[in-house]
Structure 1
Amino acid sequence: QVMLLLVILLGVGLNSAAAAKLGVVETEGGLVEGQSYRMSLFRTVDVFKGIPFADVPGKWEKPKPHPGWSGILKATKYRDRCLQVTLLQTKTQGSEDCLYLNIFVPQGSSLSTNLPVMVYLFGGAFLLGASNDLAILGDSLYDGKEMADRGKVIIVTVNYRVGTLGFLSTGDSRLPGNYGLWDQHAAISWVRRNIAAFGGNPDNMTIFGQSAGAASVSFQMLSPYSKGLFRRAITQCGVALSPWALQRNPMGLTKKIARKVGCWRSDEDEMITCLKMSDPAGLTMAGKIDVLLILGKGTVMDLLELAPVVDGDFIPDDPSRLFHNAAQFDYMAGVNSMDGHIFAGVDVPSINSEKHVTTVEQVKGLLAGLTKEKGNAAIDSAFSVYSSNWGSAPEQALVKKTVADIETDFLFLVPTQIALQLHANNSSGANTYSYLFNMKTRIFVFPKWVEAEHAEDLQYLFGKPFSTPLVYFPRHRDLSGYMIAYWTNFARTGDPNRGESRVPVPWPTFTKYRRPYVTINHKMSKSSVRYAALCYILLLLYFSVF
């Protein structure tokens, strides 16, 4: 009888554990119903996929409110990505009907309420990507279940327009551009208005993103339209100050795309009318990366053309002059130690080859390509900084690593450090935090000296070592746990050290006068906290694009 009673009690306990489930939720557009996924004995995550946050957008128009629906929307499938080129750029994929978001809500034995909310913006060079991108062993890379469950936060992932339809601009009111940024803003605003019904706290929202998504987060912080919209921001491997994140000659690019789709006219208004009548798929293909640009005269930098612009509205001025708008947001930013390696491998292919030598001339050539506006003196000065530890006969591995470091500094590290400094200088009571992610690469085809490649942080942040344990080791689960703890604590309190999760090392704040950063990997200790060196100031001078 005692055993029977225990079984009954256990059954009641399990049922009540499974009972915490949102079911049908009322949003401004209508009723939605998701799916519940069991994470452990007493924990589930409610997942809502494909909730519309805006109507089907008109071509080069700002997003409009969704008209709503009748009945219950079954939010159980990801919706199409926005129209874009495929990774190999041979065709297009996706749809113009693409402004949808996905919500991941952790549940215990009782329904969650007042949870912190984290809204994620995907990367992809403003050219491609989706809120459910890159399926790895069946799960989207940006599946928010592990992060939501372990950090006790709501995760939201959103789609936005990319490529020609998201970012083409004439640099004036005829085609102002930044449509993808307006989509992001519409999604964040929708979350603020509706997330309470899902158990979230609309007054405690954090936006975060990686690469072009990080630059997007940065632009959202700097826009006057974001005042009071969210509380915190995290940028991973990209900021609005990154040289690839802003198109400074939008009309030149628009004319180039017009030529490709047969819309070239000497009269600009006629050209724009023709573009507006053009086939969306053709326009999208016309925006693909033109690899021929790089041959003999350029760098990867010159390939990344479709990007936000200073439109006098959403981005009213050069991003470097807008940090007063970000003063109220807590801010966390960092890069991967070899963010630039994949791009350096395009600019100087010999760095990834055992057989081929990387020469001093190639290193200087890369510096020349990256600092075109600065003249020869800057090239020589920068070269002397980078080669200072080479000695008289440097090993090839060191020279090749230097090439990757140069590209990392120029495209990612220096702009991020400037953004952190400007945030700290302008901050009114908000916190600033700096990090360097330097876990060794898991991409075995790369040379031994390669550390953390661009985008390698994401698998750990989204908990892949837990959801697909067979392809990871315990050290990867340690790192994943650390990152989820820091990120979700920061979302909860504005301080990565304080919250629901224990962290391995106290992370000091970055201030106007002190520039500590934490190095994030699987072996974290007190020595993980370091300070930016003096040569960093020199690099700011050499590489600053302002």
Structure 2
Amino acid sequence: MMNMKSLVAIAVFLETVSATSLGVVNTEGGLVRGENIALEAGRHMDVFKGIPFADVPETFMKPKPHPGWDDVLDATAFKDICLQVSVFPNKTRGSTDCLYLNIWVPNNGSVSSDMPVMVWIYGGAFIFGSSTGIEILKFVQYSGQELADRGNVIVVSIGYRVGSLGFLSTGEPELAGNYGLWDQQAAIAWVHRNIRKFGGDPENITLFGESAGGASVNLQILSPHNKGLFKRAIAQSGVAVCPWTIKKNPREYAVEVALKVNCPTDERMASCLKEIDPVDLILAGSFNFSRNSSDPIVYHLELSDPIFYYLELSPVIDGDFLPDHPSKLFHNAADIDFIAGVNDMDGHIFASIDFPRVNFDLLPVPVEEVEKLLAAFTKHKGDAALQAALSLYNSTWEPTPSQESIKKTLVDIETDFLFLASTQAALKLHADNAKTGRTYSYLLSQPNQLGGIFKPYPKWMGADHTDDVPYVFGKPFTAPLLYPLKKHRDLSGYMIAYWANFARTGDPNEGGLSVPATWPTFNSTGLKFVELNSKMDESYVRENMREDYVDLWNNVIPSFPDIIAE
């Protein structure tokens, strides 16, 4: 008489003999069954949704291993997103039970083995986001299907805590912060331990992410806790040394949150905060939306400073996950291949909040706003730094600057300060510390398709923040109503080829997929990059990205003495 274990083993064997399906997979927590879907030309894909990589996390505690399960886990539906603020005032969405991951495994005629693995870390200012992104009907923003199929790679997307639950810190060991980073690390470690059962190569894992996800990717390669867990990393529009990545004085904001939830602010603060309802903690760490009286037709945040100064919840130097400032930890990434880049108008979304008239041709923006924005970004350095910045940014203006010049300059300032200059700094730090690790730089310049006459964005619009993500995930192939033109499919094909080649070999030019231009490595003597665009060819290989502006933010302004604490 066969025992239950033998029956399960036979069942697993029968389900896995199919040439086009993994069937039931045996993970460290137990058996999981996903969904096998048919693609074109006889190809198939196994999709696993909602596999737990850790237990339900306790408030302000590192993630713990999942205890496992007895029956076969049905992995055919996405799980709850991590608890976070909703778009509606004083509302939340999601759950504290959210540490799950999703896996897309392409099977081209036979069950895959030793495939490159790409692990996606989502963005959202460390406040919002999920492993699936926006879900509308069958549209899933971060579905890995197209990237996995066209790139012939396994794609994994992971959940992690955001907002107060993920990043609040008192600056002390009892409530150290970085819980969202520890969640990411737990997911990456789970993938490394289990992905071989899904046909992946645990020695060939690439992290990739965008915005706060890109900064997270960069932080993961710098942490000493991740030795040997992955081989490569792609940071899109966000790196570890962006001015918004590291919270310098976390206790100040923790005190604000504590006061909102009626906790003391002395030595009892951390223990009190751990007892507060998670929903109340999330709400206490958010800011409110309101209508700006000066622009009554536009809803946006009522801010006295640029929105950058309101991004209070982010990673901290905790002496554990991050033992020092990220700029001093790049030696830990010496053997990691690294791609980092930005979109040419990454700052537009932030300029639209700080100056909502930027998007309206008939609504002028006073030229004084340029100086006001630069003053906000240089306020800890004083008037001399402001004048240095102002003289550079207005150097290309007409004698009487046009509205287009003023508005584009505001976007350029936000792009350079928040993303571009710091990404160049991270690339240089990586290249300078590299041993076997290779370094690559890019600039996405494909104009946003919502820009132009009678569209919500101005006609001069370039690539906005997050515009890169749909191309990487192949949306022009699956959402033709949103991306109707051949140029959209061309660019998506190029980016998938570069990203998948890099994941396979560490070289975006080599890996079986053809690319439109040879992407050179970045180093301190040749600051080369590719400009990603649907029209790209070999002439789109450039060097010295916005050299004078990078030098301004990375060298000139830091050289002035502080007049107030940063």
What is the alpha-carbon distance in structure 2 between the residues aligned to residue 351 and residue 449 of structure 1? 11
Equivalent AA in structure 1 for residue 473 of structure 2: F
1:387 corresponds to? 394
Among 282, 285, 288, the alignment partner of 2:286 is 288
- Cα RMSD between the aligned structures? 1.8
Contact persistence 2:333–2:437 (CA under 8 A) = no
Contact persistence 1:137–1:468 (CA under 8 A) = no
Q: Percent identity?
A: 53
Contact persistence 1:18–1:109 (CA under 8 A) = no
The correspondence of residues 359-378 of structure 1 with structure 2, limited to 5 A, is 359-378=366-385
Secondary structure of 2:368 counterpart: helix
Secondary structure of 2:364 counterpart: coil
Among 413, 419, 422, the alignment partner of 1:415 is 422
* Deviations 1:365-392 (CA, angstroms, capped at 9, x unpaired): 0001111212111111111111111021
| Cα gap change, 1:477 to 1:137, in 2 (>3 Å) | farther
1:464 corresponds to? 475
Contact persistence 2:80–2:94 (CA under 8 A) = yes
What is the alpha-carbon distance in structure 2 between the residues aligned to residue 406 and residue 89 of structure 1? 30
Secondary structure of 1:517 counterpart: strand
What is the alpha-carbon distance in structure 2 between the residues aligned to residue 100 and residue 110 of structure 1? 27
Equivalent AA in structure 1 for residue 228 of structure 2: G
> Is 1:231 aligned to residue 231 of structure 2?
yes
Equivalent AA in structure 1 for residue 52 of structure 2: P
What is the alpha-carbon distance in structure 2 between the residues aligned to residue 182 and residue 271 of structure 1? 22
Alpha-carbon distance, 1:240 to partner: 1.1
> Is 1:319 aligned to residue 333 of structure 2?
no
* Deviations 1:374-412 (CA, angstroms, capped at 9, x unpaired): 211111111111111102122110111010000000011
2:260 corresponds to? 260
What's the TM-score once normalised by structure 1's chain length? 0.94
Q: How many residues align?
A: 529
1:487 corresponds to? 499
Alpha-carbon distance, 1:295 to partner: 5.2
What is the alpha-carbon distance in structure 1 between the residues aligned to residue 26 and residue 189 of structure 2? 17
> Is 1:272 aligned to residue 283 of structure 2?
no
Contact persistence 1:289–1:304 (CA under 8 A) = no
Contact persistence 2:89–2:289 (CA under 8 A) = no
Structure 1 gap ranges (5+): 1-15
1:503 corresponds to? 515
2:161 corresponds to? 161
* Deviations 1:480-509 (CA, angstroms, capped at 9, x unpaired): 100000000000000000002100110010
Contact persistence 1:121–1:209 (CA under 8 A) = yes
1:118 corresponds to? 118
1:304 corresponds to? 311
Equivalent AA in structure 2 for residue 402 of structure 1: T
> Is 1:512 aligned to residue 524 of structure 2?
yes
2:183 corresponds to? 183
Contact persistence 2:209–2:235 (CA under 8 A) = yes
| Cα gap change, 1:296 to 1:208, in 2 (>3 Å) | closer
| Cα gap change, 1:516 to 1:88, in 2 (>3 Å) | farther
What is the alpha-carbon distance in structure 1 between the residues aligned to residue 238 and residue 406 of structure 2? 25
Equivalent AA in structure 2 for residue 58 of structure 1: E
Alpha-carbon distance, 1:189 to partner: 0.2
What is the alpha-carbon distance in structure 2 between the residues aligned to residue 523 and residue 199 of structure 1? 36
- Compare 38-47 and 171-180 and name the one that shifted more: 38-47
What is the alpha-carbon distance in structure 2 between the residues aligned to residue 356 and residue 542 of structure 1? 34
Alpha-carbon distance, 1:182 to partner: 0.3
- Compare 313-322 and 290-299 and name the one that shifted more: 290-299
1:347 corresponds to? 354
Equivalent AA in structure 2 for residue 390 of structure 1: W
Equivalent AA in structure 1 for residue 522 of structure 2: F
Structure 2 gap ranges (5+): 1-15, 291-299, 560-565
What is the alpha-carbon distance in structure 2 between the residues aligned to residue 255 and residue 223 of structure 1? 27
Alpha-carbon distance, 1:136 to partner: 4.5
* Deviations 1:424-468 (CA, angstroms, capped at 9, x unpaired): 000002110000011111223011111111101111110111112
What is the alpha-carbon distance in structure 2 between the residues aligned to residue 440 and residue 18 of structure 1? 45
- Compare 189-198 and 390-399 and name the one that shifted more: 390-399
What is the alpha-carbon distance in structure 1 between the residues aligned to residue 260 and residue 303 of structure 2? 22
1:97 corresponds to? 97
Alpha-carbon distance, 1:137 to partner: 5.0
1:130 corresponds to? 130
Equivalent AA in structure 1 for residue 175 of structure 2: L
* Deviations 1:189-236 (CA, angstroms, capped at 9, x unpaired): 000000000000000000000001111101101101111110000000
Contact persistence 1:415–1:544 (CA under 8 A) = no
What is the alpha-carbon distance in structure 1 between the residues aligned to residue 249 and residue 553 of structure 2? 26
1:12 corresponds to? none
The correspondence of residues 424-463 of structure 1 with structure 2, limited to 5 A, is 424-443=431-450, 444-463=455-474
| Cα gap change, 1:254 to 1:503, in 2 (>3 Å) | same
Contact persistence 2:247–2:316 (CA under 8 A) = yes
Secondary structure of 1:469 counterpart: coil
Equivalent AA in structure 1 for residue 471 of structure 2: Y
Contact persistence 1:133–1:141 (CA under 8 A) = yes
* Deviations 1:253-283 (CA, angstroms, capped at 9, x unpaired): 00000111122x25x2222222111111011
Contact persistence 1:151–1:500 (CA under 8 A) = no
| Cα gap change, 1:271 to 1:501, in 2 (>3 Å) | same
Alpha-carbon distance, 1:511 to partner: 0.9
* Deviations 1:280-307 (CA, angstroms, capped at 9, x unpaired): 1011111113568975641111111100
Equivalent AA in structure 2 for residue 110 of structure 1: S
Alpha-carbon distance, 1:525 to partner: 1.2
